[in-house]
Structure 1
């Protein structure tokens, strides 16, 4: 595929919206131990593309005044239809649609205080074609469920011009309901002191040749994989009580991507280690509002997530039944969350976090089909495409429900342009 023609964006408006001085008191909200852990995750960058066949002036005069938030508005000369397609698109070009969230430091003789903005929003107008709404969020402020609830509430307010306040519940901001029975807060704070700026899952420099492509996992393929996993006769199966474990669509999709991304890594860099007993790792965040001791309300705003952490030996993951073993391992982790083991083993993972990520033996997933991102309607219809552009190449993928068909999944993957043929060869089974 030929490289895309360089495109430009032009800033046409910047605004800040704030209450009148003195009208709102200053409030300090302490971070919970889960918020502290999420400082390692860096920023989330999500872009919502909407078809809107109007000129830029229509957006700035008719739509923008009703969207009362702190925003930057830019105009792009990129091809809107190319930007929302599934085929490979330049990551750097997509990043130009995302607002920056800078780190500010206030220093004194005794210490340094970090002042970190929580969120930034950017509208990009593709004249006479569409617009994108992109949000950069500091993950320490909120998890995916809270973030998407906020976006849907904002979209609902805009769609109804502020007249419908009943479609979604207001968020709950009481951090006191999050308890730390295992003393993990001190462990995570020590990690911050130990690792400093190490942000293995967070922001990173984008190689100039990276492209983002979307795989669509069809419902027929998902059913085929589920059947294979459920009926596979292998040694691992005898170690797991299959009656207790439900192999979900999430587990199947993650197993499929884990195995194939590790194959891609090994094709590019060679086997990461000669030792077949070396552990390869899968990591995901799981909502635990309904699993967290005293029940946390669904409307809680903040971070209420735990880790799904599955390590598998290389010889098993890369073997003929690797996908079966991976799906069962992920399924068991999900099952154990329902047995009261919400934060089991996190202190052990914390101690080896840096080593695991530096060695490059890990695959992570961003987002979830449960967030229903294509239901975020500002009054312009459902999004034409939703993308996450902070995912790392060769170690992370994004997961969302399909816009077109119920039961299908959109999977976002970043890969070097010169590796597209290899990528397609490995993933052609999709």
Structure 2
């Protein structure tokens, strides 16, 4: 009931509306026609290189526990850094970042392997942009994301669950919010509905939400990242994304 109330408050609905038949669709968030969509790629070699860079910089932060630098953690950390730098402006702004977590194998007992449905939830945290634009920024955010995932298993899925949705929906003016859509485990390029594997997969919702789209590459060599930005920020992001791999 807590979750339902949070969701209805967010939609501006009343709980009495729940049992009323309705064909109302989710509100259209609109699409900014001045934005550009682009897909970037991190190969396995790029990810390996970034992982080594993060490890070398994490050593200087003296973490309590060595971060688990999975392909997801490395990729998401790098893209976050590039997006925060591309936006520029007020460095003291909050950066809200969030990503979905697979809960199927984390439940007790775990969800059966043949379960077909939704069993994910969002993790969210806040960090100052100033922390991410410094030289050690990628190590800071990678360690933070790694710890967020570790804490799910150490603390349990439902600790503080009553306030999670309410917290997710709290944003302040001037904040930068970066979500994530998709997964590198969905095998989207392996799907064949009878007319062959897809040439290109896009997550169209990111045009409205501003989230990062993520999927495995069609050739299996690395990760595809889809972003939607205005033309000015896209040029900066592209430059940062490429130069960050070349200069390190």
Task: Normalising by structure 2, report the TM-score.
Answer: 0.82
Structure 1's 328 and 418: CA in aligned 2 closer, same or farther, altered over 3 A? closer
Query: C-alpha offsets along residues 153-175 of structure 1, whole Å, 9 cap, x if unaligned?
Result: xxxxxxxxxxxxxxxxxxxxxxx
Partner SS, residue 205 of structure 1: coil
Q: Report runs of 4+ in structure 1 exceeding 4 Å deviation.
A: none
Counterpart check, 1:288 vs 2:103: yes
Q: 1:381 aligns with which of 186, 189, 196?
A: 196
Q: In 1, distance between residues paired with 2:130 and 2:186?
A: 34
Matches within 5 A, 1:275-354: 276=92, 279-339=94-154, 341-354=156-169
How do residues 47-62 of structure 1 correspond to structure 2 at under 5 angstroms? none
Aligned to 1:412: 226
> Does the residue aligned with 2:97 lie in a helix, a strand or coil?
strand
Is residue 281–residue 312 contact of structure 1 (8 Å, CA) maintained in 2?
yes
Q: Aligned match of 1:255 in 71, 77, 95?
A: 77
For residues 279 and 210 of structure 1, what CA distance do their matches in structure 2 show? 23
Instruction: Give RMSD over aligned pairs.
Output: 2.6
CA shift, 1:349, in A, is 3.6
Which residue does 1:227 correspond to in 2? 52
CA contact (8 A) 1:264 1:394 kept: no
- Separation in 1 of the partners of 2:167 and 2:242? 34
Task: Tell which deviates more after alignment, 412-421 or 296-305.
Answer: 412-421
Q: Contact between 1:307 and 1:343, CA under 8 Å: does it hold in 2?
A: no
CA contact (8 A) 2:87 2:233 kept: no
Question: Which of residues 23, 29, 42 is equivalent to 1:217?
Answer: 42
Q: Match for residue 23 of structure 2?
A: none
- 2:36 & 2:136 partners in 1: Cα distance? 30
User: How many angstroms does 1:190 deviate by?
Assistant: 2.1
Q: Verify: 1:366 aligned to 2:181, yes or no.
A: yes
TM-score by length of 1: 0.49
Residue deviations 1:39-71, cap 9 Å, x none? xxxxxxxxxxxxxxxxxxxxxxxxxxxxxxxxx
Determine the C-alpha separation between the residues in 1 that align with 2:123 and 2:7.
21
Q: Compared with structure 1, are the counterparts of its residues 228 and 345 closer, same or farther at alpha carbon in structure 2 (3 Å cutoff)?
A: farther
How far apart in 2 are the matches of 1:340 and 1:351? 20
8 Å CA contact 1:215, 1:411 repeated in 2:
yes
The separation in 2 between residues aligned to 1:386 and 1:415, in whole angstroms, is: 18
Deviations 1:202-244 (A, max 9, x none): 8521112222110011211100110111122565x323311xx
Relative to its length, the structure with more helix (as a share) is: 2
Q: Distance in 1 between matches of 2:83 and 2:210?
A: 7
Uncovered stretches (5+) of structure 1, i.e. residues with no partner = 1-185
CA deviation digits over 1:352-405, x for unaligned, max 9? 33332754332111010100001101232211111111104794110000012x
Which sections of structure 2, spanning at least 5 residues, go unmatched? 14-25
Q: How do 1:180-219 residues align onto structure 2 when only pairs under 5 Å count?
A: 186-197=1-12, 203-219=28-44
Q: Larger Rg: 1 or 2?
A: 1
Structure 1 or 2: more strand by fraction: 1
Separation in structure 1 between the aligned mates of residue 190 and residue 173 of structure 2, nearest angstrom: 37
